[in-house]
A and B are shown apart, each in its own frame.
Chain A
Amino acid sequence: MPETHPARRPPGELEASVLAALWAAEGPLTPADVQRDLGSALARTTVTTILARLHDKGAVARTRSGRGYAYTPTQDSPGLAARRMRTELDKEEDRETVLARFVSQLSPDDEQLLRALLDDAESGTDAESGAGEESGVDAASGTGEGGGSR
């Protein structure tokens, strides 16, 4: 059974998804924005709860926006230290030995091949642009908490 029901996903996973959405955004997001970003199947109350939890942990900051709040990931670290560490890590020739990178380097040929593959993939599902819409199965089998597993 390939599907996962978000209601049964560990709360940490949803928190990670919400936090990732906030970091990916250019500006502050309201719970409605986050919900739209993550896929409509995720209930608004769930999103609000997760945002509140992240706020309690100090992972996000919030500002008044209309009747509710808008959230930004906290920028408490300048990011410079993290960047310096990463540069250092990159100097290690064999970094891949322990840290399996999501993607490895591409050669120019790889790049062409990859673009062709992705074009095929995109043309196969052009209806999909955001997330969650493309499988009605999720929504149909979802519980009240929604089926926005993606």
Chain B
Amino acid sequence: MNPDLVPPLLMPLLAVPVARRLAASLAPRSAAWLLACTAAVLAASSTLALVLLAAQGALLLPPVAALGHLTLPLLTAGTDGLGGFAGLGSAGLTVPAACVAAVLLAVCAGAVTLAGHRFRAEMARARAATGTCVASGELAVLQDSDPDAYALPGRPGRIVVTTGMLRALRPGEREALLAHERAHLAGHHHRFIVVAALAATCHPLLRGLRAPLSYALERWADESAASAVGDRRLAARAVGRAALAARTTGSARPSAALAATTGPVPRRVAALLHATPPAGLRQARGRRLVAALLAGCLLVSAAAAVEAATDLHESVEIAQGE
């Protein structure tokens, strides 16, 4: 088994906390990009590593080897003489690792397909719900006393708001709400969320990036709303009052179990009101160090995966008797 395959699989252990730390010190927009890209790179590297692990095992199967005109002894033996090239090593470790990798890949593929399917179904249902209500272009109002609002991506995207939400807010706050949802649509924020969700499906350790990412996206939209209405306090009140309204009437929601400690809403409101730099890492130097560490993590992870792919390619060529 190629040792290059280990870093891509284990790197999220280190990179996820580092990325979270760095994101907390960045402006919302940069934080969202950072978290989504980190998730994408780590997921791609670890998936590539799994593919390579599985492929190594597959090549040892006589039918596969015959198909590729491979000479098995050459494939497994490796040739330490050839510039430190390690070959695939003995079948002893490669085969079980390949089996595990193949199972994991199958599980991943299944889960990703399922998640993709679920996203589409979810969107279709949300669309069906808004299709039955009055719509004036971008705004779809649901007649429902439970305060709720969300952006429904698509062409064109829609802002869905319940009458309960509209009535809970004052006029200026309604404008802030609309501006917030417009920012979600204009910034294609759902794509970030889907990337992170799929990445977390590929590698469970990447789940830790999802909560900070959704927070960064909400903050991003909050900042857009604040500048659209030209008043940070107004935007803060819109978020705060909407949350309080949703709390009093919507407490029977099944998703109520989500909140645990200090939730994102008070932090968003405080960020709009105080506009202080995010806690921790205020010094540029500390931030640069963390950024360098994260860049290192991503680079090592991706480079190791690519290196392993090259190695496998080389061993195949050698085994082909060239």
Residues of A within 8 A of B (CB): 2-4, 12-13, 15-17, 19-21, 23-24, 37-39, 54, 57, 59, 73-77, 79, 81-83, 85-86, 88-107, 109-111, 113-115, 117-118, 120-122, 124-125, 128-132, 134-135, 137-138, 149-150
* Main SS at interface, chain B: helix
Contact residue range for chain B? 35 or more
CB <8 Å contact, A117 and B266: yes
Within 8 Å by CB of B193, from A77, A98, A125, lies A98
With A89-B126, A118-B241 known, 5 other A-B pairs at CB within 8 A are A85-B128, A97-B193, A102-B165, A103-B242, A150-B229
| With A83-B144, A93-B254, A125-B233 as contacts: A104 and B265 at CB distance below 8 Å | yes
Which residues does chain A contribute within 8 Å of B237, judged by CB atoms? 118, 121-122
Interface class of chain A by DSSP: helix
Contacts of A75 in B (CB 8 A): 134, 143
Which of B10-18, B21-29, B175-183 contacts the other chain?
B175-183
Query: How many pairs of residues, A versus B, come closer than 8 Å at their CB atoms?
Result: 256
Task: Check A107–B263 contact: CB distance below 8 A.
Answer: yes
A100 CA to B143 CA, complexed, in Å: 20
B9 to chain A, nearest CB (A): 25
- On whether A90 and B255 interact (CB within 8 A), knowing A75-B143, A100-B184, A150-B175, the answer reads yes
Q: What residues of chain B have their CB less than 8 Å away from a CB belonging to chain A? A: 115, 118-119, 122-123, 125-126, 128-130, 132-139, 141-144, 146, 148-153, 159, 161, 163, 165-167, 169-172, 174-178, 180-182, 184, 189-190, 193-194, 197, 214, 217-218, 221, 226-231, 233-234, 236-237, 239-244, 246-247, 253-256, 258-266, 269-270, 273
